[in-house]
DNA sequence: CAGATTTGTTCAGCGGGCTGAGGATTCGCA
DNA sequence: TGCGAATCCTCAGCCCGCTGAACAAATCTG
């Protein structure tokens, strides 16, 4: 269907995202992990963070982050504890198991990137995406 | 956060898609429509289709399409009827109300495209997305 | 200091992807 | 003819976005 050429850009982005992420499904499922959880672990690698801060970094609402963290906690990949300084806050920390699965994921991700040979100028393509996200 | 530059491509696509589609939220909500429903109506504009065929065109599973169509039906934008030739099939037809809201959406979509001035070479960017989708 | 406001998180509920499983109908071949 | 295989759709259940609303803790203000 050549019809796809006339799709609005938002639709193109959405479908492309699903297809690319689908490539990763097997790895994630085999480690009891999800895509959202992986991003969260990535941001926690540098050190503990409050949930709200995590939500901002992941470009997600507080509510969505709350659920994602709860799942990671049940999987044993993060710990939660109330902040002593500000007891409204919950500090989230990555566990050794979390660091371990994160390292594995980095490797798998790098491999799957090579499947994107379809794009002519890969780096420029990425930069356009980054620019788009930053300006919106 | 310059950190975003190092995100895997799948993540970039996903976030960009959400941001761009979010631009459209107000219009859709005001017409009791959703993004998935809009795509479905688009494919129905040419004539009735079986659900499975619709799912393929929209790059979605049968189950997802089933739900989307049911919602469109409740909103009065499509009709469903069993195919006389093959009673396993359900033929979906767009209603006059559906055609009308589709025309409105086309206009709104075209306007929102102009918000994408962030991308340097817009047409090339789109073509790369199309190519990526077609090869996966 | 008490009350109002702000801040951080969670609960409820919905749409939209997905997988897995199951029912109804049709098709194909012995 | 008849039974198994393929086809089309739906139901159940999960994760991931979102909005709206509620709650506890901290902070601001009169």
Condensed to tens digits (0 to 9), the pLDDT of residues B18-52 reads 988 888 888 888 899 999 999 999 999 999 999 99
CA A49 – CA A106 distance, rounded (Å) = 21
Q: What is the pLDDT along chain A (136 residues), one digit of tens a residue?
A: 557 888 888 889 999 999 888 888 888 989 999 999 999 999 999 999 999 999 999 999 999 999 999 999 999 999 999 999 999 999 999 999 999 999 999 888 877 776 676 666 788 888 888 888 888 7
B113–A9 CB contact, under 8 Å? yes
Tell me the sheet residues that pair with B79: B93
Q: What is the model's pLDDT at position B67? A: 97
From the CA of A48, how many Å to the nearest CA of chain B? 17
Residues of B in contact with A126 (CB under 8 A): 9, 12
Position B125 pLDDT exceeds 70: yes
What angle do helix axes A9-22 and B35-44 make, rounded to 10 degrees? 110
Q: Tens of pLDDT along B51-64? A: 999 999 999 999 99
What's the confidence (pLDDT) of residue A117?
67
More confidently predicted of B130 and A112: B130
Q: What token pair was written down for A49?
A: 């963070």
Q: How far apart are CA A22 and CA B48, in angstroms?
A: 30
Pairing label, strands B90-94, A78-82: unpaired
- CB atoms inside a 10 Å sphere around CB A22: 11
What pLDDT does B60 receive?
Answer: 96
Question: How distant, in Å, are the alpha carbons of A24, A50, A69, A82, A94 from that of A91?
Answer: 29, 5, 11, 6, 10
Q: Is A12 on the interface with B (CB under 8 A)?
A: yes
- The answer for residues whose C-beta is within 8 angstroms of residue B135's C-beta and 6 or more apart is A118
Provide, as residue numbers in chain B, all residues whose Cβ is less than 8 Å from the Cβ of A20: 9-10, 13, 132, 136
- Contact: B16, A132; criterion CB under 8 Å: yes
A64 touches chain B (CB under 8 A): no
Chain B contact present for A125, CB below 8 A: yes
Tell me the sheet residues that pair with B49. B92
């Amino acid at each position: 269907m050549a019809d796809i050429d006339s799709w609005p850009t938002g639709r193109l982005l959405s479908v492309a995202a699903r297809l690319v992420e689908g490539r990763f499904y097997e790895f994630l499922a085999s480690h009891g992990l999800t895509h959202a959880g992986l991003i969260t672990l990535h941001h926690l690698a540098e050190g503990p963070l409050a949930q709200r801060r995590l939500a901002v970094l992941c470009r997600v609402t507080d509510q969505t982050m709350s659920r994602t963290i709860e799942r990671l906690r049940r999987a044993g990949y993060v710990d939660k504890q109330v902040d002593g300084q500000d007891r409204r806050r919950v500090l989230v920390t990555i566990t050794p198991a979390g660091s371990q699965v994160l390292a594995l994921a980095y490797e798998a991700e790098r491999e799957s990137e090579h499947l994107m040979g379809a794009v002519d100028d890969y780096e420029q393509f990425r930069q356009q995406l980054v620019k788009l996200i930053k300006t919106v």
